Amino acid sequence: MINFTLLVNKLRKTRLIQWYDQTPENQRQRIIQEVSQQVVERQSKGCNVIEWRDKKLIFRRYASLYFIFCVDLDDNELMMLEGIQYYVECLDKYFGNVCELDLIFNYSKAYNVLDEMVIGGYFSESSKRTVLKAVQAHDQLEAGGEVK
């Protein structure tokens, strides 16, 4: 199960965070700081999996952003790395060559893409076309138009 998804830049500024577990509010900020520090300060030649507390941090860096999944110890690392790649590809198709500024100014759309892919900490949709169609339908509803 994915416990949380975190996107941070090289300066450790949070760009997106989605929690799927019952982590208390008063611990979340400390967890974000600790996780982002461990990932950003890691050697670039190191492994993309870090055992952290009783979880695993699985991450990939794309340009200036780190995409991090915190998962249970028994979860498949390769599946999570593929999940990160899948999320980045969906964002890339949606925004057209996504960059950090797209996530800053359109964070709700980045959340919508993630919410279409992951429900309750588990991957629910494996088709990029279906994810993008659902997000575009959501955009049409927000704009006041009819969904086709």
User: Residue 67 phi/psi, 5° resolution?
Assistant: -100, 120
Per-residue pLDDT tens over the stretch 64-122? 999 999 999 999 999 999 999 999 999 999 999 899 999 999 999 999 999 999 999 99
**Calculated CA dihedral for residues 96, 101, 104, 107, nearest 10 degrees:** 0
- Closest Cα to residue 66, out of 96, 87, 90? 87
Per-residue pLDDT tens over the stretch 21-35? 999 999 999 999 999
Please report, for the chain, the start and end positions of each structural domain, with discontinuous segments joined by +: 2-143
pLDDT (0 to 100) of residue 148: 62
Token pair belonging to 148: 């086709």
pLDDT (0 to 100) of residue 147: 63
Left, alpha or beta for 145 (phi > 0: left; psi -120 to 50: alpha)? beta
User: Please, are residues 55 and 44 in contact by the beta-carbon 8 Å criterion?
Assistant: no
What is the fold, at CATH topology level, of the domain defined by 2-143?
Beta-Lactamase (3.30.450)
